[in-house]
Amino acid sequence: MRQRPFRQIDVFTSVPYLGNPVAVVLDGEGLSDAEMQRFARWTNLSETTFVTPPTPQAAAQGADYQVRIFTPGGELPFAGHPTLGTCHAWLEAGGQPQSPGRIVQQCQVGLIQIAQQYGRLAFAAPKLTRRAPEPGLLADILKALGLQTTQVRSAQLLYNGPEWLGILVDSTDTVLQVEPDHMALKTLGHKVGLVAVEYAQPAPLLIARKNREARAFAPSSPSGQAQSAEANMCTVEVRAFASPLGVNEDPVTGSLNASLAQWLISEGHAPPCYLATQGCCVGRDGRIHIEQDASGQVWVGGDAVTCISGIVAL
């Protein structure tokens, strides 16, 4: 065992203890998979990360560091709030990216681009694959959530490293009032993300110009910082249930919001720039900044704040 620098970062908030915490071990060299997993179980957070140097091949492609991401139950190939929290901790500890203002993170899904601007970080959403869920599975999930089919507008299985069953429902009230049967969700073995989009003006006026015209409001700010009329035209509420991983409800979820954004924007359910909120049902106030740039790349941004700084014996 040796002394290793450690941070605990609250992500998707500028106010400590209102976002989603991630434990970051800034020197993970020499630790075995079993040692990482044991520490992740001990922290009992939704994710714990371990930073190591990038592989030579990844470094040649611009990677600044490599990260391993563990839940209490196992390793993840990618996760959103650990990506932003780890990057925040790495920069705070003196990390210097190869390209100013742009950090490249190596993880199991590949190289993740992270933009740095105006004090906020945003990651480029990994490639999304999606498909319709089997009707029987969807029916079982809806029963576990206590939802009626009439409350569901659309549903997709979303994969960008982790897999989520995304369910678009009819209102933000529906999202907030759900009381899941977590044991049933755990038995079904699927993580579930609920989302609702409500417009401040009739949606067709926005959807009609959602592509080139809407993106033109802020095509040069791939950092989650865009301020546009579209961002204020809708309210987006999200909840995430990860019972199969031992996390009944995740406070604020970057990977889910990344896949939801790619799906909802592409199908015209949401504008190319919006602010999602998540976590109020578990006493948090997460804010996720979504922006699709002129190239079509979706960026997921949020504030981060250090809550614990010190050393850990590992």
CATH number where 264 lies: 3.10.310.10
Q: Which residue has better confidence, 26 or 161? A: 26
**Same domain for 277 and 149:** yes
Contact 7, 13 (CB under 8 A): no
**Same domain for 248 and 278:** yes
Region of poorest pLDDT, from 109-113, 155-159, 204-208, 238-242:
204-208
Contact 277, 246 (CB under 8 A): no
Region of poorest pLDDT, from 117-126, 202-211, 235-244:
202-211
**pLDDT band, residue 245 (cuts 50/70/90):** confident
**Same domain for 111 and 141:** no
What is the domain range of residue 252? Answer: 129-299
- 60: tokens are 């040649």
Distance CA 271, CA 77 (A): 28
**pLDDT band, residue 214 (cuts 50/70/90):** very low
Nearest to 183 by CA among 274, 246, 238: 246
Distance CA 156, CA 256 (A): 12
Contact 190, 166 (CB under 8 A): no
Q: Using N-to-C axis directions, what is the helix angle for 80-92 and 254-266, rounded to 10°?
A: 120
- 52: tokens are 């190591």
Q: What is the pLDDT of residue 217?
A: 37
The answer for residues whose C-beta is within 8 angstroms of residue 133's C-beta and 6 or more apart is 141, 155, 156, 157, 165
Q: Is the pLDDT of residue 208 over 60?
A: no
Q: Is the pLDDT of residue 223 over 80?
A: no
Q: How many domains does the chain fold into?
A: 2
Q: Which helix (H) or strand (E) holds 183?
A: helix 182-188
The whole-number average pLDDT for the span 269-287 is: 97
137: phi then psi, degrees, rounded to nearest 5: -65, -45
**Same domain for 173 and 40:** no
**Same domain for 267 and 170:** yes
**Same domain for 102 and 74:** yes
**Same domain for 269 and 137:** yes
**Same domain for 49 and 103:** yes
Distance CA 286, CA 8 (A): 16
Distance CA 59, CA 111 (A): 10
- How many residues can be counted in the chain? 314
The three-state DSSP-derived secondary structure of 106-162 is EECCEEEEEEEECCEEEEECCCCEEECCCHHHHHHHHHHHCCCHHHEEEEEEEECCC
In angstroms, how far is the first alpha carbon of the chain from the final one? 5
**Same domain for 211 and 240:** yes
**Same domain for 143 and 89:** no
**Same domain for 282 and 147:** yes
Parallel, antiparallel, or unpaired: how do β-strands 110-117 and 120-124 relate? Answer: antiparallel
**Same domain for 134 and 55:** no
Q: What is the pLDDT of residues 146-202, one digit of tens each?
A: 999 999 999 999 999 899 999 999 999 999 999 999 999 999 999 999 999 999 865
Q: Is 242 helix (H, G, I), strand (E, B) or coil?
A: strand
